[in-house]
Amino acid sequence: MARRTLCTGHCRAHHPQRPTTSAAHRLHLALGAGDRHRLDPDPHRLHLTPRPLALTLFAQTKFDQARPLIEQAIEILGKNDQPEAALTFLNDLAGELRDQKKYAEAEPLYKRAQDIAEKHFGPDDPHVVKAVNAQADNFYNEEKYAQAEPLYKRVLDITEKNKGSKDGDVEGAIRDLAVTLFELKKFDQARLLTERAIAILTKNNKPEDLAAPLTFLGRTCEGLRKYDDAERAYKRALDMVGIDNSAARDTLENYSRMLHDLKRENEAQALEAHIHKVQPTTGAVEERR
């Protein structure tokens, strides 16, 4: 599953480009000729495009026509004992909807994928983690943070159980949940989780990755009105990358903004002088995929 750095600016996200090869197209090619005919009474319609008819209908926003085809495809895959192909198919179709920002229409597909994963692989399997995480990401992008929160918590719980508390996947799951809690203004919980992520990165000897989570820690401390703690976090982040490094820009912007809010204008302006020396970074939070 894709991971992103803890956001240091706006916590909304932007998805990386989706692969051009369609998993639904791979499904269509994998199905036997007889099964392909079952997906539509007119087999010629399936060859009008390299993608299967369901995907074509989705692209045309003809969701009501596409849903029976999806059910037929899932039925075929179930009889052929191919749950992984069914999951790929559902996630690909849901991804098409998410690319169109039709998050509400994607919700039932992600939920169906989760149900299939739990049925075939058990509640704590990595397939379930991927399915639950995708559903949570969809809620997050829809700005339904309250619905995303319990799903991210479940991802973290399963990942800790399967991987161990120092695993990189755990740190990534912590980040997802922390950013969501920040959006819900649950700053105390977001701070505790961010401190856990920082501890994991430190133990794994990855100081170069600490600037972004330290800056995010500063923002959570600001949310709690603990400005001294926020300042310590910002200063530590700057120590990690150097004040005139392009990677310091987000930290400098947040730190200087806080100083302005605290009416410490001279100090804020001194930091802003460094901001003009560095180029914008490309480390903005990626939309959740």
b/e code 195-206 from CB counts within 10 Å (16+ = b): bbbbebbeeeee
- Residue-wise pLDDT tens digits, 65-94: 666 766 676 666 666 667 887 788 788 788
Q: How much is the pLDDT for 182?
A: 98
State how far the Cα of 121 lies from the Cα of 127, in Å rounded to an integer. 7
User: Where residue 288 falls among pLDDT bands split at 50, 70, 90?
Assistant: low
Q: Which two tokens stand for residue 166?
A: 């120092």
- Yes or no: say if 224 and 187 are a contact pair by the CB < 8 Å rule: yes
CA of residue 132 relative to chain centroid, distance? 11
- Residue-wise pLDDT tens digits, 21-36: 444 444 444 444 444 4
Q: Report which of residues 19 and 155 the model is more confident about.
A: 155
**CATH topology classification for 206-289:** 1.25.40
Task: Name the packing angle between helices 126-141 and 145-163 (round to 10°).
Answer: 160
Is the four-CA dihedral 110, 111, 113, 114 of positive or negative sign? positive
Residue owning tokens 């000729």: 33
